[in-house]
Structure 1
Amino acid sequence: MLQNILIVDDQPEMLELMKDILEPEGFAVTTLVYVDDIVSCVTQHQPDLVILDHLLAGVNGGELCREIKNHPLTAALPVILLSGFPRLREAFGDFGSDAFIAKPFDINTLINTVKSYLADGHMLAHA
């Protein structure tokens, strides 16, 4: 069974790029440009890992990360936060994310980071 990655980014080109990078690595990828309730979205899609853009249209991806990490059903889910403004992390923190990748990112960095969090010990057990 393929491991599922949920990616939320308000730039369709970025979603397509990450999908094109991760699917050939053997992952199932679900992409969304907008989420109004991240916990419901995670419950619906059952991802093994979430990638969130830090600055989304109308919402802070870091706050979405915090919602995932603070909810008992999703707290163990690995979350990677992406940002084209890495200094935001210095100013606002990592919001509980498991990893942070600055945009533009190195393809191998993205792949290796995803794979490291989807190794056997880091998988979320689906109920």
Structure 2
Amino acid sequence: MNKKIFIVEDDADLSEAIQLILKGEGYQTAASLDKNSIKGVILHMPDLVLVDNKLKDGLGSELCVAIKNHPLTSHIPVILISGYANLSAIARECGADDYLNKPFEMSELIETVGNHLKHLV
């Protein structure tokens, strides 16, 4: 079965590009444009969540905390993506499993996602 990735990115073009790249790697994807998507995470029960930190309706780090604190989703790896200079500290504070600084190479995205999903059967 294909691994599922849930993407929370308010830049529709970037979200679409990420989805195309990940689908090309054999992953299933679903996406949301806002952080009010813990419901989306629970609904899709993905194997991994990619979340932009700067969203139109708040911070992705807040969604990360919600994911990590919810009993149904606390096991799901979260990768924070953003152009913030202190992204590593933000990722650490919110409990994210990893982070990618924007702009990132798509090969870097594929490698980071793969690293977090390789242990899953």
TM superposition score normalised by structure 2: 0.91
Residues 57-72 of structure 1: matches in 2 within 5 Å?
A: 57-72=56-71
What corresponds to 2:43 in structure 1?
Answer: 44
1:13/1:74 CA distance change after superposition, 3 Å: same
Task: Count residues in correspondence.
Answer: 120
What are the equivalent positions in structure 2 for 1:100-115 lying under 5 Å apart?
100-115=99-114
User: Residue type of the partner of 1:28?
Assistant: Q
Letter in 1 for 2:55: L
Unaligned runs of 5+ in 1: none
Is the contact made by 1:35 and 1:41 (CA closer than 8 Å) also made in structure 2? no
Distance 1:88 1:111, change over 3 A: closer
Runs of 4+ in 1 over 4 A off after TM superposition: none
**TM-score, with normalisation over the residues of structure 1?**
0.87
CA contact (8 A) 1:7 1:50 kept: yes
Given that 1:101 and 1:110 are in contact with CA atoms closer than 8 Å, whether structure 2 keeps it comes out as yes
Counterparts in 2 of 1:88 and 1:116: CA distance versus 1, 3 Å: closer
SS in 1 for 2:81: strand
After superposition, give the CA deviation of every residue in 1:33-60 in whole Å (9 maximum; x if it has no partner).
124241x221111111000000101211
- Root mean square deviation, CA, Å: 1.5
Gaps of 5+ in 2: none
